[in-house]
Structure 1
Amino acid sequence: MSKIKYFHRGNKLPGESFLVFKIDFFILTFCCLSYLLNYLDRSNLANAYVSGMKEDLDFKGDQLTQINTCFTVGYILGQIPSNVSLHYIPPSKFFPGAMIIWACLTMITATVKNPQSIMAIRFFQGIAESTTFVGTHYILGSWYTERELGKRSGIFTASGLAGTMIGGFIQSGIYTSLEGLKVMRGWRWLFIIDGIITLPVAVYGLFLFPDTPGTTKAFYLSQQERELAVTRLQPSPTPKETETTASTSPGSEKAIISENPPSSTKEQSPFTRAFVKKILISAEWYGFIILWILAGSSESFSSNSLLALYLKSNPFNTPYTVQQLNSYPTGVSAVGIVSTLFFATLTDIYPHTRHTVGYFIGVIGIVTSGMILAAKYEMVGNQTGVVMGAYYWAGAVYACQATFFAWANDSMRGKEEVFRGVVLAGMNLGSNAVNAWWSILFYGAGMAPWFERGMWAMIGDCLVLVVWCGGLEYVLRRRERGSGGGVVV
């Protein structure tokens, strides 16, 4: 109960509550709208596919999966460069610029004549969208404390899931109302509308996004609030720092010497050999990249739109309308939103338990895969209800996005901002690098409706994830206790 009271009230500094209210409004509105539109764009490719694009463009075999892989390759290439760019280019310029590029590419997609054109467009779209997810987690870690970060990360992640969820309803509405308008198919109108609604959000960010605490020039933050935004995030003195302070001579100035300098100090350039070496020998680099590779693979059911593909190729010959094919999979995102917000809030109250979410999603992945395999092997009666229930439940694995990136941000407090940015980008780079071939190998569209190979891959991935979460938490806790916050690998 005391933890819950502290979470709600805490020991806030004068003016801190109003500061948090302001940054919540301006940062979360832009980041959440940006991510919602980002995911709306991604999910609507699958929505368009089941709404006539497959037949109109004469898709063959796994070409839809290949298009997703082209996007993933561009997304991978943009990860670290985009997050490092935030160290030099104001986020208020970089984020909106990327949004304008991907909005234009989205609208161009409405003109395509074959799947190969979409492959080229999605590659460059992946580069443009690469900064949205990891860039936002970098920004959130720059502004929010440990007891605030999880919930904000959860709200941000939930906005992306909301984009996936409403995408199905938008496509259904467009198909009903705009199909054939100006002699153009409804799925083409979807891409045009997606691009148009993205542009106002980019303009909003250009004028109102506050950058980072140390660089912000936002007119709605006073000088005192800008200083408070920096000082409230300074790490508390560690045991080693306290010992150093106590050992200073009487009358001398008691300067605290930390192995992890605060973010207000001059940061290393990310282009030096020393900095690269520091990254590559750190526990965070390997620990969190492998963590997110495993966790990202646990989201494969949803990220590859398996429920939509299952319904499209239903083994029980149940007919579904275009509206149903777009609407039914939205339940996956709804489950993901609830799960994300619940665990993000809970782990803000108990921030040292963020790793336990890995145990939860590990069990989910194993059980839901088993349900789908059992439905395939049983084949007594129509098993579609069981399969849909399993895919809906599997949406709960999205809880790991907010909690794992908050866990990574928490573990790197006090390190250089660019170090944290590179590790966060490395996490998503690693996950997407694996997903580029993982989805083709285990979840290709040609493997519908059962994706049997993918079910066994999910079970193996989730078993390893559970073990890795426990091991990483043990290593980080042992280092924290043994070094008082210093860097030990």
Structure 2
Amino acid sequence: MKGSEYNTCVSVFFVGYITGQVPSNMLVTRVKPAYYMSGWMMAWAIVSTLICVVKDYHRMLACRLVLGLTEAPFYSGACYLVSLFYTRKEVATRLAVFYTGNLLASSFSGLIAAGVFAGLDGRHGMAGWRWLFLIQGVVTIGVAVVAFFVLPNAPLHTRWLTQEERELAHSRVAKDTTEKREGTSIWSGLWEAVTDYRTWVFALMGNLHLSANNFKNYLPTAVKSLGFSTTTTLVLTCPPYLIGGTTSVLVSWSSGRFNERTWHITGSKAVAIVGFAVATSTMNIGARYFAMVLFVAATYGVNNINVAWTSATVGQTDEKKAAAIAIVNTFGNLSFVYTPYLWPDSDSPLFRRAMVASIAFSLGVVLTGWAMKFVLKRANRKIRSTQDEAINLYAY
């Protein structure tokens, strides 16, 4: 590829990915999630595998677009499914554990890629990157088959729970939801999510957060700018994500343990801002690598808190919750359409444009979080003034 073609291939995936999330999450409230999500997992695994035979840029663009469409149902659907089983104090930690799988994949993909390029590049006439898509796609097909049997459905319809456990799983989340109402149609749920302005505040927060995380696809490029070989670069991308997975779980657990959102987001983004600032202000190799570890490690817990906060705040019905989660994730992923263009090769090695933008986006996340805190404090005062008995207030 040449020029901005790689950036465009990164971006076009998210065109498909963001298009399918809201319709899919509307549908997942009406079908069995275990079958629905494992089926889409199988679809994206097949598409990913077939990328290994792509011969030109335009076919790669088409495959990336279809790959985005087939992956769209999974993350929003998984977030919705987790929110059906866990209370507001529990869900962020569970989402963090779930998302740690993504971070571990980002971490070990560098090691796997290093091994593939070292041992298979050119074998049987196939370039290393083709082997990489083939291996990862085939493994994902196997995981999709297993998922068909082990993924749960909604609490009242999960086959491996007893009837008593099903009722308990359902009732504990219902009692924990502020202003909980009976279910409605999927279109009413979508309308309620769209017309609740809090959905859009969370969507803005998600967009700003993932815009600040625009380094994900370019971390190997940033690490390579330190002057290391390709293999060493791929290995060095591993530690930041390993540390990030650990801190993500810890921050999310703390947020749930203390039933607090705003300060956890503020603290995480403050550390990330320091990392972005150091990374673009010095040529010292050790300092720049430490800065990269810092901003990767500090920032990933924020997304879990935001999604959990969304499900607890605008989850009055399951249909509204599913639509709201998908809207938040959709607007978050819009960032991946435009942020690749913050990383032109001409900005190497400091990538000042991307780092300064990430600082600005991170500040936006903090401001949006505090705005939501103000909104929910006002809502709690209104609830207290209209209810005399024990009440379930919004957390912030």
Quick check: TM above 0.5?
Answer: yes
Does residue 179 of the first structure (1) align with residue 121 of the second (2)?
Answer: yes
Instruction: Indicate how the Cα distance of structure 1 residues 271 and 364 shifts in structure 2: closer, same or farther if over 3 A, else same.
Output: same
Is 2:203–2:329's contact at 8 Å kept on the other side of the alignment? Answer: yes
Listed as ranges, the matches of 1:229-268 within 5 Å are 229-235=169-175, 260-261=180-181, 265=182, 267-268=183-184
Does residue 190 of the first structure (1) align with residue 132 of the second (2)?
Answer: yes
Q: Offset at 1:349?
A: 0.9
2-side partners of 1:189 and 1:171: how far apart? 9
Matched letter for residue 354 of structure 2: G
Query: Structure 2, unaligned stretches of length 5 or more?
Result: 385-391
2-side partners of 1:114 and 1:446: how far apart? 25
Aligned match of 2:217: 304
Is 1:74–1:126's contact at 8 Å kept on the other side of the alignment? Answer: yes
Matched letter for residue 466 of structure 1: V
1-side partners of 2:47 and 2:176: how far apart? 46
1-side partners of 2:91 and 2:190: how far apart? 27
Aligned match of 2:305: 403
Does residue 368 of the first structure (1) align with residue 275 of the second (2)?
Answer: yes
2-side partners of 1:344 and 1:217: how far apart? 26
2-side partners of 1:343 and 1:486: how far apart? 22
Q: Offset at 1:343?
A: 0.5
Secondary structure (helix, strand or coil) at the match of 1:344 reads: helix
Q: State the Cα deviation string for residues 429-486 of structure 1 (Å, max 9, x = none).
A: 111223312332x224554332222222122222222211111112112202312569
State TM-score, norm by structure 1: 0.75
Q: Offset at 1:405?
A: 1.3
Does residue 286 of the first structure (1) align with residue 286 of the second (2)?
Answer: no
1-side partners of 2:374 and 2:24: how far apart? 31
Aligned match of 1:93: 35
State TM-score, norm by structure 2: 0.91
Q: Out of 168, 187, 192, which is 1:271 matched to?
A: 187
Q: State the Cα deviation string for residues 136-184 of structure 1 (Å, max 9, x = none).
A: 1101100112232122111011111001111111111122222232222
Q: Offset at 1:298?
A: 1.9
Does residue 465 of the first structure (1) align with residue 365 of the second (2)?
Answer: yes
Aligned match of 1:39: none
Aligned match of 2:348: 448
Q: Out of 206, 209, 232, which is 1:295 matched to?
A: 209
The 10-residue stretch of structure 1 (70-79 or 128-137) with the greater mean CA deviation from structure 2: 128-137
2-side partners of 1:110 and 1:345: how far apart? 40
Q: Out of 229, 232, 240, which is 1:324 matched to?
A: 232
The 10-residue stretch of structure 1 (387-396 or 227-236) with the greater mean CA deviation from structure 2: 227-236
Is 2:273–2:295's contact at 8 Å kept on the other side of the alignment? Answer: no
Instruction: Indicate how the Cα distance of structure 1 residues 236 and 165 shifts in structure 2: closer, same or farther if over 3 A, else same.
Output: closer
Q: Offset at 1:280?
A: 2.9
2-side partners of 1:236 and 1:99: how far apart? 31
Instruction: Indicate how the Cα distance of structure 1 residues 76 and 475 shifts in structure 2: closer, same or farther if over 3 A, else same.
Output: same
Instruction: Indicate how the Cα distance of structure 1 residues 121 and 203 shifts in structure 2: closer, same or farther if over 3 A, else same.
Output: same
Is 1:65–1:445's contact at 8 Å kept on the other side of the alignment? Answer: no
Is 2:198–2:372's contact at 8 Å kept on the other side of the alignment? Answer: no
Aligned residues: 386
Query: Structure 1, unaligned stretches of length 5 or more?
Result: 1-58, 239-258
Report the aligned-residue RMSD: 2.1
Matched letter for residue 196 of structure 2: S
Q: Offset at 1:394?
A: 0.7
Q: Offset at 1:369?
A: 2.4
Q: Percent identity?
A: 25
Does residue 164 of the first structure (1) align with residue 164 of the second (2)?
Answer: no
Aligned match of 1:136: 78
Aligned match of 1:42: none
2-side partners of 1:173 and 1:278: how far apart? 49
Matched letter for residue 308 of structure 1: P
Secondary structure (helix, strand or coil) at the match of 2:280 reads: helix
Instruction: Indicate how the Cα distance of structure 1 residues 68 and 446 shifts in structure 2: closer, same or farther if over 3 A, else same.
Output: farther
Does residue 228 of the first structure (1) align with residue 168 of the second (2)?
Answer: yes
Q: State the Cα deviation string for residues 101-124 of structure 1 (Å, max 9, x = none).
A: 111111111112223222111111
Secondary structure (helix, strand or coil) at the match of 2:187 reads: coil
Secondary structure (helix, strand or coil) at the match of 1:146 reads: coil
Listed as ranges, the matches of 1:3-14 within 5 Å are none
Q: State the Cα deviation string for residues 229-256 of structure 1 (Å, max 9, x = none).
A: 2122222698xxxxxxxxxxxxxxxxxx
Is 1:213–1:226's contact at 8 Å kept on the other side of the alignment? Answer: yes
Instruction: Indicate how the Cα distance of structure 1 residues 356 and 486 shifts in structure 2: closer, same or farther if over 3 A, else same.
Output: closer
Aligned match of 1:51: none
Instruction: Indicate how the Cα distance of structure 1 residues 450 and 99 shifts in structure 2: closer, same or farther if over 3 A, else same.
Output: same
Q: Offset at 1:97?
A: 1.0
Is 2:280–2:351's contact at 8 Å kept on the other side of the alignment? Answer: no
Q: Out of 242, 258, 266, which is 1:334 matched to?
A: 242
Aligned match of 1:241: none
Is 2:281–2:350's contact at 8 Å kept on the other side of the alignment? Answer: no
Instruction: Indicate how the Cα distance of structure 1 residues 363 and 236 shifts in structure 2: closer, same or farther if over 3 A, else same.
Output: closer
Q: Offset at 1:276?
A: 4.7
Q: State the Cα deviation string for residues 309-352 of structure 1 (Å, max 9, x = none).
A: 134455xxx3x33321211111221221121011111112112x
